[in-house]
Structure 1
Amino acid sequence: MAEPLIVPTQKSATRKRREAKGKERERAREQVAAASGSAPGPSKPKPKPEPTESWDCIPIARSEVSSVPPVWSKDGRFYFTAAGTSVFVHSSAGPDFERLSTLSSTDPNGHRKAINALLVHPTNALQIITASDDGTVKVWDWVEGRLVRTIVAAEKGHVKQICLGDLNGVWWIYANLSTVKSKSGKRSNTDPTNLSHKVVRIPLAGQAKDEDPASLVHQFGKLRAPPSAIFLSPRSNYLVALAGTKAYVYRLPKDEGLDGVWKPKCVKFVSDEIFTCGAFAPDRRSRSGAEQEEWFATGDAKGVIRLWHGIGAAFRQLDAGAGQAQQNDNEKRLPTTSLHWHAHAVAAIAFTSAGAQILSVGEESVLVQWHLASGKREYIPRLGGRPILSVAVRPGARGVEEEFWMGFADGAMMRVGAASGAVSAVGASVRLDPLRPTSKRAYPLAVHPASKALVVPSSHPSTLQFIDPLESRVLFDLEVAPSNRVSRRDEKQLEPVAVEMVAFSAVLDGRSEWMATVEGRPADEAEGGGLVKTLKFWRWNGDRYVISTQYPRPHGTEDLTALAFGATGSEPFAITTAVGGTVKLWHVRQAKKSEQGKASSKKPVVAELYWSLRSTFGYRSLPVHAAGFSPDGSLVVLVHGQVITLWDAATNVFVRALEAPLDARKLAFAGPEGRYIVAAASTGVAVWDVLSCELVATLPTQAADMLVGLHSGILAARAVPPKGAGQAKTEVTIMAPNGSGARTITLAVLISALADLPSTAVHLVGIAQSGEIYRFGELQKASAPTKRTITADAPRRATSIWQEMFGRGAFLDELAPPPEKEEGAVTALQRAAAGRPEAVFEGASHTLPPMGMLFDAFMDELLAPRAEEAVEGMEVDEEEAITLETSVAPDAVRSVTDREVEELEVSFCQLKMGAKPKPKPLPKVGKKPNGLPNGNAHRAVSTPVNKAKSKSMPTTPDTPELVDGKRSKKRKAPRHSEL
């Protein structure tokens, strides 16, 4: 059988020519390589350049949660707090309590792990002492902001707690250390079973011998469990270390020197529960002046506070039976006084300055005051809804009451006046939800269009906080879902109602009139399961948003996927979508009601606006993943995955369906006036032109975990998890709508949500997975906080004895002008965002409207309206003689000279010492005739009776009177200075 004849086609001939050309190019490359001396080889594609551009992430809000209580400087003008590896210096002047500086965050020799203790240096008021989990104790000069000294207490361990004490004229640092066991093998130093715990002492001013840091650390006690507290008695007689269920009480020797070997006696007090905190009572004396016995109080994991008395008796018993048992194995159970109210563990306790009360806090968010004399207690509840981690007492001063300061689990701090009981916040810092890192709920992030304020949830997820992103301060809070913020009953955390979505209407007349929120929670079995969602509409009343309309379960038990505002003319619209594919449009309606609640033509009518459902529709029962209005409000765009549908917003008429080359989940509008529709999936971005409905660009390899539409193009971001020992980061790609001109920027923080701040350049706000908020971009105003100078040695203006008696207002040099009334924060931001109204005249004259049309609007924007003052008239009857009572302005207080003050002090001292001033001589009065002849002294004299009725009128010395139509004043008594 003959073989078939294969005729070469035109395509096969073209392929052969291409292969021949490729071989010729390869030979040319080999010849060039041989001539240059390099080894021949096939050509390799150029590697993709790594992104080199990066943006600095400026923190707006960071987690500053710490169980370390604040401490104050010696003069009380500053206070210090610790969070993470940093120490913050604040001003004690309220209400802002401004942060002045930060220690250790930028110092290369600072702490590498969290700070566990913070104390003020006992001999140098300008220094503070910190202890950390990195095993070091550091001394800082907080005025100059520099590190003074580092003491290595444990190279492979942690310094858990420290306290300071004076013994025989030498200051010591007493510390609880947790170190790695010597025979631990390869186990980690964070394994609790791999750590040994001990009590050590370190000289505060000592120097290491032969540069060996271990020579300064002297151990004198061993603990059987992880330590929870260490504290010293006021007279430095006893040292108490709490660990597990035992309180190790050491009696410190009084005859040991600096280099002496300590062998303090120890008594272990045993409890039934694990200790969590403790403190010694202040030193008190009896009425006769005798010293009272020292005692301490502890808190445990079951919420019980115990008062431990009889320490001296326990050591006397130990001394009496020293030969019968070893000193280190003496466990005692003393009779104690129990105080129980807390349902959970006692987080911290503190004594008041006088020692008459004990303050205790815990997870219940309640401050409990225990009166030791009467045994009664008082409560200050509902201090924020979050667990309280620390409590401290700010000592009172002249003119300043004692205060109780508490630190919360969301990083906030509050204070309570000891005498007044007034509760107020310390500063206006941004509060973060402590449960945010472990929650999988949606985290809403929005920008208020009128004021450019950032809107995020507060420490409680049912409350929104409006934040100034440039100054990192809270403008005001808005409680969206009123909730009873109680502590948990069981080990499981309570899941409160949380705000999941926030949207604002467009700016109209300088304000965003409407706000919409969606809040939700999982439904229980009695409610039929599913999700409980509530849609609320809020209206701006000039100061804040107030509730207007609410709809429980607007889409049944389905989860909501989108919430957005749009506008058709002057009427706003809102859209909500659900997972099941249901789309609902809402609009504003007006109801007429009388002031009495019933409509009537005779009664005044008040117009009331409310929101109602306008229409419900869907597209082929496809789920809706994202939705939004076009910038002009004429189109509704729905994302169904591989299909994008366009609808007429006014009539709900279906316009067109766009086929997407990817499974889209996100939606944005980009370009000038939002001309381009951008849809994105986790990998892939597609762009359409709204005018032609044609696909402009497809980027199948572009990752887009987050999508933001810009005026100049598209911004897509993706989170890059850490690889090996590397650090997690975020890569941001900015490109034109057609995908050209792409550039990649690296962020050193792992971002999970993005929002665009209105500005002339790219200015973004991002939320990290830990809940911390950052801002970054091309426009970074106030990129670093301004450095403030701390003058700790500024003289304090003490009040004199005369100022205590008469007040500072009695002296002109102490008078200060009254502070001006501050403008509302949101109103000020709105005025700043309004721009310059006079810029309208910078354009060409032939393009402007007539001046008559611009004048009124221009003057209203440029000049603030002045409030009209009502002038009340007074009717006067001219035929009656009347007396006008007018208020006379008080005389200005004159300046008091130093000579006069000295004379007053001398006279006051003489009066106090009992010196009697000499009596002034009485003037001699001559005899006056009484008008009677001699010898008629006993004649009765008749008094003439005045026929006019006498009226008792109060005399006003400075009140002018009308006499014959003229005003006259009574003469005043001459002043002492006029004589």
Structure 2
Amino acid sequence: MITGGQSYVSAPPAFSADGRLLLVCSGRAVSVFSTATAMLVSELEGHEGDVTAVVVVPPPAAATATPAVKLASYCWTAGLDGVLIYWDFVAAEAVRKVQVGLPVHSMVVPNICRTSKGAEVSTPVAFISVEDMSKPANEAKALRGQMRVYDLMKGRKVGLLAETRKPEKIVASSSGEFLGITNKRKLHIWNIPTKDFKPDKIRKTKLRHTKNLTTLAFHPSERTVAAGDVTGRILIWRDFGNAKFSESSKSKVDEGRDGVRGDDDADMCTTWHWHSSRVRFLKFSSDGAYLFSGGLEGVIVVWQLDTGKRRYKPRLGSPLLFFVDSPDSSISCVSCTNNQVYLLKMPNMEVMRSIAGIKLPIASTSLGGSDRSVYGFDYTNRLVAIPTEDYCIQFYDLFENTEISELQVCQRNFQPVDDITMYISLVSLSIDGSLMCTVDVKLPEDELGGLVTLKFWNHGSSAGNYFLSTVIYEPHSDAEVSAVAFRPGRNMAVSSSFGGNFKVWVQSLSSQSSNEKNCAGWRCQSVGSYKKKPMTSAAFSADGSVLAVAAESVITLWDPDNNALVGVIAETLSPVTNLSFVGTSVFLMSVCQSSRPQVTVWNVSNLCMQWSYSIYAEAACCSPDGNEFAVLALLSCPDGGASTEQDGAILLFNAENPNPVASWSVKKARGGSISFVKGDISLDANANNSRDRDTVSLVYVNGSHEYAIFDPRKSEELVISRNADKKIQADEPALIGYASIYGELRKLESKKEVSDVPFIPSDRPWETIFSGSSHVLPPLTKLCSAFLSSLLEKRSVANE
């Protein structure tokens, strides 16, 4: 089984001590990427739940002072399985584990932060934010969040800092002296003892605001803290904690402090405002002169701390989540909501490389009255096509777990606003991947200005590369397109609409050209309808001779060449939402998604029902060759507020038999999809004959866009946790000295084979002494003496 598609932006990443590696939380593992190539180097697999935090242990002061000493390669990770793990992330080995027993949502280890500055630190102590599962979740005032203190060496709890309504994110200062959380309209800050750590020596202060706070950051050297709120404002408190944190008792709260509320322990508070909505992250630069902020706008704002002036890094294309800088300050990274991590070259913030995962689901699941998930699968090239929020289609290689390309469907700039005005409602690919069709919908404003656009795309020179062939505005008047299906082996497609008709499209042969971008367009060949009923789905048979179109709850059969009705199958219980022919057989599978769900298999030869099940199918697919089809069934019918956490099951059927051949329990089935793709020999090491090489694999994509590829013939547990056959690229050694500036020198190898004949000097060396490339020739001092020697006549001198 091969898995992938995990989120790279569920938690802040972390750089290694030398900045060569980036550790990214990805599901139940930590993926280690090379910052030089943005390729996967290794994976840390050991957690049973999603990883929520990774903290890199900096090297000791002796290692940084002595270049010959190898830098430390250790880190701590925390997960929802309630375990803290100490790793050697270069060797990808777990060194030790600390059992917490409760889901850990955030973790900082401030003691190890001071080791880089050479301070005396005894035992590393972790501050973790856990969720107390014993308290009721439906109770409004239940304190389910706890901030606990753990001794990492002894592996036990040594203190409890605070209790909150929910687990909060903990932020520590770079010096390890302070840590804090945001709790509604308050900022809680703790002062951690630098020596002889004891929980009872921790002192606490609070800073208040009029709006709910979302994030905070500490200044690297001064007693200054910045916090962002839900309205987009940034507040900066200077000299906080003088009264409670200072050793002397002379500190007294003075009157007339600018911007400070009540008796809050700070000298002054400054407010900045640029963001239009909640601030997602704040981060001070390593020298403390600048403050970085980001949010929904997809723009990094750089504030000059002394003057309040700002500059911008725009056009990142997605709302921002986290900003992390490396120890050497020459590289940073920013995490975006579209599951992409950009590596930035500082201080200009130039995007060097990106680590792109599969795009996460669109926030709004109900658009234009349709809540169906939109996926397109390329059976031959084993790709999945997923619409994104910025009106693109991402092509993702399922076997390599990498992004192949991104196609812009709608030519307009993405604006991250709350109201969605346009979306891609449908993506359909032919079985060989040579043709693609998309449908984008512009929502009307005040019931005016709506537009449905049907676009045909032709395949380019590589997988996932398509160019636009034909644009058809309002293909079915003002009705939306319900389905698009391609005819196998022919350049023909059918589109059905809720307006009561379907149209057969063919590729015109009148404008053939040698240039692929000027090839033939598409035109409507015929139009069909049945009793003016909404056409809800369509499918071609394997040989393309029969077209099945669902007219609401009636399945009609047509001759696609003559557009003639050849048969009608009895009505179903509710409108049909999915039609598909089962391989090359005479069976047709239909799915009804409503209050009366149904999965039915029809025999096309005698126009009768073969068998039926009353189950809610979130998605279904048929094998292109055999008599098998798969159904992604939910355990209960979803209501309007159903979430992606709803569990389900994948059922594999043989069309002739109502008993399932195999079944798998899956998580997050709501909003998921399944499809058969061309098999891969790497899935089965025992597959040696040609028959095994032609088998198909089954792909399951859950509601969070995580996926699993498995052989449906095997009974294996379907758990999306790791990629068993992932190809990992070895990390390249860092370049130093001359090579870091100009690159490595090319190795010059002799093209001639080594001969056993000893070298015999030429009688005329001046003819070959200067032949060859200039960079191969010896220095001039050696050439000159050899050249002059060759011109002199040598003779033996007799001894007198």
Q: Name the TM tier (shorter chain).
A: 0.7 to 0.9
Identity %: 20
1:406 aligns with 2:343: no
CA-CA distance at 1:453 after TM superposition: 2.6
Hey, what does 2:15 align to over in structure 1? 72
1:549 aligns with 2:470: yes
CA-CA distance at 1:100 after TM superposition: 1.0
- For the 8 Å contact 2:23–2:31, the answer to whether it is kept is yes
One-letter amino acid of the structure 2 residue matched with residue 632 of structure 1: D
Give the 3-state SS of the residue equivalent to 1:105 in structure 2: coil
> What pairs up with 1:149-548 in 2 under 5 angstroms?
149-150=97-98, 152=100, 160-165=106-111, 166=114, 168-173=120-125, 175=127, 177=129, 187-188=135-136, 191=139, 193-195=141-143, 201-205=149-153, 207=154, 213-214=156-157, 216-217=158-159, 219=161, 227-232=168-173, 234=175, 240-250=180-190, 257-258=196-197, 261-262=200-201, 264=203, 266-283=204-221, 293-311=222-240, 319-320=249-250, 331-372=264-305, 375-385=308-318, 387-396=319-328, 402-419=330-347, 421-435=349-363, 441-448=371-378, 451-458=381-388, 460=389, 462-488=391-417, 493-505=418-430, 507=432, 513-527=434-448, 532-543=451-462, 544-548=465-469
- For the 8 Å contact 1:348–1:361, the answer to whether it is kept is yes
Once residues 119 and 243 of structure 1 are traced to their aligned partners in structure 2, the CA distance between those partners, rounded to angstroms, is: 26
1:128 aligns with 2:75: yes
1:621 aligns with 2:505: no
CA-CA distance at 1:663 after TM superposition: 5.5
Hey, what does 1:586 align to over in structure 2? 505
Distance 1:628 1:370, change over 3 A: same
Once residues 978 and 526 of structure 1 are traced to their aligned partners in structure 2, the CA distance between those partners, rounded to angstroms, is: 96
Hey, what does 1:683 align to over in structure 2? 598
Distance 1:797 1:701, change over 3 A: closer
Distance 1:732 1:376, change over 3 A: same
Once residues 131 and 6 of structure 2 are traced to their aligned partners in structure 1, the CA distance between those partners, rounded to angstroms, is: 30
CA-CA distance at 1:177 after TM superposition: 4.9
Distance 1:422 1:695, change over 3 A: same
CA-CA distance at 1:144 after TM superposition: 4.5
1:719 aligns with 2:633: yes
One-letter amino acid of the structure 1 residue matched with residue 385 of structure 2: V
Q: 1:756 aligns with which of 673, 676, 683?
A: 676
Give the 3-state SS of the residue equivalent to 2:249 in structure 1: helix
- For the 8 Å contact 1:593–1:608, the answer to whether it is kept is yes
Once residues 104 and 677 of structure 2 are traced to their aligned partners in structure 1, the CA distance between those partners, rounded to angstroms, is: 43
1:709 aligns with 2:622: yes
Hey, what does 2:774 align to over in structure 1? 890
Distance 1:524 1:687, change over 3 A: same
One-letter amino acid of the structure 1 residue matched with residue 265 of structure 2: K
- For the 8 Å contact 2:185–2:210, the answer to whether it is kept is yes
Distance 1:423 1:323, change over 3 A: closer
Distance 1:249 1:61, change over 3 A: closer
Once residues 702 and 260 of structure 1 are traced to their aligned partners in structure 2, the CA distance between those partners, rounded to angstroms, is: 59
One-letter amino acid of the structure 1 residue matched with residue 401 of structure 2: S
CA-CA distance at 1:437 after TM superposition: 6.5
> What pairs up with 1:132-151 in 2 under 5 angstroms?
132=79, 137-142=84-89, 143-146=91-94, 148-150=96-98
One-letter amino acid of the structure 2 residue matched with residue 411 of structure 1: N
Hey, what does 2:736 align to over in structure 1? 799
One-letter amino acid of the structure 2 residue matched with residue 334 of structure 1: D
Deviation string for 1:362-386 (max 9, x for gaps)?
121111122335543221112122x
Deviation string for 1:140-180 (max 9, x for gaps)?
3433532513164xx67866443413575324536365676
- For the 8 Å contact 1:729–1:749, the answer to whether it is kept is yes
- For the 8 Å contact 1:121–1:129, the answer to whether it is kept is no
Distance 1:403 1:582, change over 3 A: same
Once residues 180 and 590 of structure 2 are traced to their aligned partners in structure 1, the CA distance between those partners, rounded to angstroms, is: 64
Structure 1 stretch displaced more, 418-427 or 543-552: 418-427
Hey, what does 1:100 align to over in structure 2? 42
CA-CA distance at 1:716 after TM superposition: 4.5
Give the 3-state SS of the residue equivalent to 2:355 in structure 1: coil
Deviation string for 1:886-929 (max 9, x for gaps)?
x98433277x9xxxxxxxxxxxxxxxxxxxxxxxxxxxxxxxxx
1:694 aligns with 2:646: no
Give the 3-state SS of the residue equivalent to 2:141 in structure 1: helix
One-letter amino acid of the structure 1 residue matched with residue 330 of structure 2: E
Q: How many residues align?
A: 707
CA-CA distance at 1:391 after TM superposition: 0.4
Deviation string for 1:395-430 (max 9, x for gaps)?
44xxxx812201122322112211454324433432
One-letter amino acid of the structure 1 residue matched with residue 663 of structure 2: I
1:744 aligns with 2:662: yes
More helix by share: 1
CA-CA distance at 1:469 after TM superposition: 1.9
One-letter amino acid of the structure 2 residue matched with residue 105 of structure 1: H
- For the 8 Å contact 1:812–1:893, the answer to whether it is kept is no
- For the 8 Å contact 1:226–1:244, the answer to whether it is kept is no
Hey, what does 1:776 align to over in structure 2? 710
Give the 3-state SS of the residue equivalent to 1:609 in structure 2: coil
CA-CA distance at 1:347 after TM superposition: 1.3
Distance 1:421 1:808, change over 3 A: same
- Structure with larger Rg: 1
Hey, what does 1:767 align to over in structure 2? 701
Distance 1:641 1:716, change over 3 A: farther
Give the 3-state SS of the residue equivalent to 2:288 in structure 1: coil
Give the 3-state SS of the residue equivalent to 1:769 in structure 2: coil
Structure 1 stretch displaced more, 629-638 or 127-136: 127-136
Once residues 330 and 549 of structure 2 are traced to their aligned partners in structure 1, the CA distance between those partners, rounded to angstroms, is: 60
Once residues 670 and 223 of structure 1 are traced to their aligned partners in structure 2, the CA distance between those partners, rounded to angstroms, is: 55
Q: 1:564 aligns with which of 477, 485, 510?
A: 485
One-letter amino acid of the structure 2 residue matched with residue 633 of structure 1: G
CA-CA distance at 1:262 after TM superposition: 1.9
Once residues 976 and 224 of structure 1 are traced to their aligned partners in structure 2, the CA distance between those partners, rounded to angstroms, is: 88
- For the 8 Å contact 1:667–1:680, the answer to whether it is kept is yes
Deviation string for 1:508-538 (max 9, x for gaps)?
xxxx55322112243222417xx64211112
1:669 aligns with 2:588: no
Q: Which runs of 5+ in 1 are unaligned?
A: 1-55, 107-111, 284-292, 595-603, 818-886, 897-956, 958-970
TM-score by length of 1: 0.63
Once residues 734 and 117 of structure 1 are traced to their aligned partners in structure 2, the CA distance between those partners, rounded to angstroms, is: 43
